[in-house]
């Protein structure tokens, strides 16, 4: 488990499917992070969480707010490529009452520390919808650099949107934290 003054991260377990299920079926939560806006059955969500929790090339963590004890989100490193020392980061703050309270920033700080200082990764990347400006600002503040865009790769809200690819390298992280 990792923690800072605001949050703690605990390893994702198969028992977390009920918490994630509520977020996964909240269209307000998913419209800015999920490529598919669908309603899922509890069984489908349980299978999804079981798959993530059991993958050897993924590390998933539930985000708990220390002051309230509330589970507020999930952050994961997926598609971990140990040979090339790279992984994709995925962040969802599912508890809408915690949006704008620095939870994403705190979680990103902890996962990058883990990625670079424990897993010995060289590169962490992510994908973000171009209209999710709040998330893009968060990632830029964390040190991520815009690598490019998948042009008009997402159809949402009646129009096409780019998916932005961003990354941070090991030496950029070290530089930011010395």
pLDDT score recorded for residue 174: 66
List the 145-156 sheet strands across, edge first.
Answer: 2-3, 7-11, 59-65, 71-81, 86-93, 123-129, 159-169, 145-156
pTM of the model: 0.91
Query: What is the distance between the alpha carbons of residues 105 and 162, in angstroms, rounded to a whole number?
Result: 23
pLDDT score recorded for residue 1: 65
Quote the longest CA-to-CA distance of the chain: 46
Computed from CA positions of residues 105, 155, 127, 2, in that sequence, does the dihedral angle turn out positive or negative? Answer: positive
What three-state secondary structure class fits 118? coil
Q: What count of residues does the chain have?
A: 178
Domain ranges of the chain: 2-176
Q: Give the alpha-carbon dihedral of 168, 120, 9, 12, to 10 degrees.
A: 110
CB of 130 within 8 A of CB of 163? yes
Query: What is the distance between the alpha carbons of residues 23 and 127, in angstroms, rounded to a whole number?
Result: 19
pLDDT along the chain (178 residues), means of 10: 91 90 90 86 89 88 95 96 97 94 96 96 98 96 97 95 98 67
- The architecture of the domain spanning 2-176 is 3-Layer(aba) Sandwich (3.40)
């Amino acid at each position: 488990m990792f923690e800072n003054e605001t949050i703690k991260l605990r390893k994702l377990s198969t028992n977390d499917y009920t918490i994630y299920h509520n977020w996964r079926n909240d269209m307000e939560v998913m419209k800015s992070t999920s490529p598919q806006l669908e309603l899922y059955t509890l069984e489908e969500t349980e299978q999804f969480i079981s798959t993530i929790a059991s993958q050897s090339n993924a590390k998933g963590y539930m985000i708990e707010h220390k002051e309230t004890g509330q589970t507020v989100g999930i952050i994961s490193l997926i598609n971990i490529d140990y040979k090339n020392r790279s992984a994709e980061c995925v962040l969802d703050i599912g508890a809408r009452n915690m949006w704008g309270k620095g939870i994403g920033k705190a979680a990103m700080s902890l996962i990058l520390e883990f990625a670079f200082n424990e897993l010995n990764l060289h590169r962490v990347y992510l994908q973000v919808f171009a209209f999710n400006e709040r998330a893009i600002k968060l990632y830029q503040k964390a040190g991520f650099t815009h690598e490019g865009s998948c042009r008009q790769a997402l159809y949402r809200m009646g129009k096409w949107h780019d998916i932005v690819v961003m990354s941070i390298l090991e030496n950029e992280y070290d530089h930011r934290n010395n």
